[in-house]
Amino acid sequence: MLFSKICINICFVILIYTSFNFTSNFFRKDDFMPRISRNSLNSNFFHVTVQGINKEHIFYNNSYKNFYIYKMLSNLNRFNVTLISYCIMNNHAHLLLYSEEISNLSRYMKSLNTSYSIFYNHSENRVGYVFRNRFSSQPITNYFYLFNCIRYIHDNPVKAGIVDHAYNYKFSSYNDYMNFSGIMNDNILKLIALEKADYRNILMSRYDNSLSLKDLNSFILNLNIFIRIFSQINS
């Protein structure tokens, strides 16, 4: 019995040690973060999402996607908002925006969605609400979240199985980043505190380089089972 307890204790220590190394290697900040002095951000960056009412495919037509992108870009200067990245899917859209004033962001999104609602209802010969809500926004307060948000937005069509690689999808800012064109410019790099020579390595990697939720849940479940067995043996 004593020998069994010793073996269990040794296995427990090994499990904790290897698990710590596994997760720390998976979440190394060097894989995601640039070498910058600041780790925190002010809350002027926002991950904004819009969704069709009842999850309706309000962007199902490519010309509809192009119209939304056109209105999205044409309203930026009017409301003093900067577009960092975007992706337009069939039933929803992601925008990463920078705004010094939250009121400007709200007015920008209201104008954008109102214009698109009028266009969509006219095109589809329908009336009523187009979007599920006005929009949802999440403030971004650190660089780890910011860079992963950019990758997440660009990787949406890949995750959805629409394309094999983000550069094959026309309705996102991924190729702007790849070609340093469109919305990508020196001002954007300055805002997100990246050097031009480094930004592709940091932002172009696939979002799924991180530990999957399924793997993480499995690890936690197995660890909890082991802890219960360990506690019973040593009680």
Would you say residue 210 has pLDDT above 90? no
- Of residues 226 and 60, the one with the higher pLDDT is 60
Lowest-pLDDT range of 77-86, 161-170, 219-228: 219-228
pLDDT of residue 25: 42
pLDDT of residue 54: 92
**All domains in the chain, ordered by first residue:** 41-209 (3.30.70.1290)
pLDDT category of residue 134 using cuts at 50, 70 and 90? confident
pLDDT category of residue 223 using cuts at 50, 70 and 90? low
pLDDT of residue 162: 95
Would you say residue 177 has pLDDT above 80? yes
pLDDT category of residue 34 using cuts at 50, 70 and 90? very low
On whether the CB atoms of residues 40 and 79 are closer than 8 A, the answer is: no
Would you say residue 77 has pLDDT above 60? yes
